[in-house]
Amino acid sequence: MPGASEPVPSLIYPEVREGRYRLLMKGTDVVVMEVDVVGGQVTQATWPTVS
């Protein structure tokens, strides 16, 4: 459970509007994942690990 025993990184971006976002690898056009942002709800995503 978040916050139960250790800090959990979190960010708030009030200017982000509801919708689907493509998250790119920095400095490229490579789409790593897509995230749906729903107004008034917490959006959670985990960046994939590199193997």
In a domain, 13, yes or no: yes
Do the domain assignments include residue 44?
no
Quick check: is 15 in a domain? Answer: yes
Query: How many domains, in total, are found in the chain?
Result: 1
pLDDT recorded at residue 32: 94
- pLDDT value at position 51? 65
Domain assignment of residue 3, yes or no: yes
Position 12 scores a pLDDT of: 85
Residue 43 placed within a domain:
no
| Residue 11: inside a domain | yes
In a domain, 28, yes or no: yes
Q: Say what the pTM is.
A: 0.67
- Show the domain range for 17: 1-38
CA distances from 33 to 1, 7, 24 (A): 24, 24, 7
Q: What is the residue-level pLDDT of the chain in tens, covering all 51 positions?
A: 555 677 777 888 889 999 999 999 999 999 999 999 999 898 888 888 876
Query: How much is the pLDDT for 17?
Result: 93
Examine residue 51 and state whether it is found in any structural domain, yes or no: no
Q: Which residues lie below 8 Å from residue 30, measured CB to CB, with a gap of 6+?
A: 24
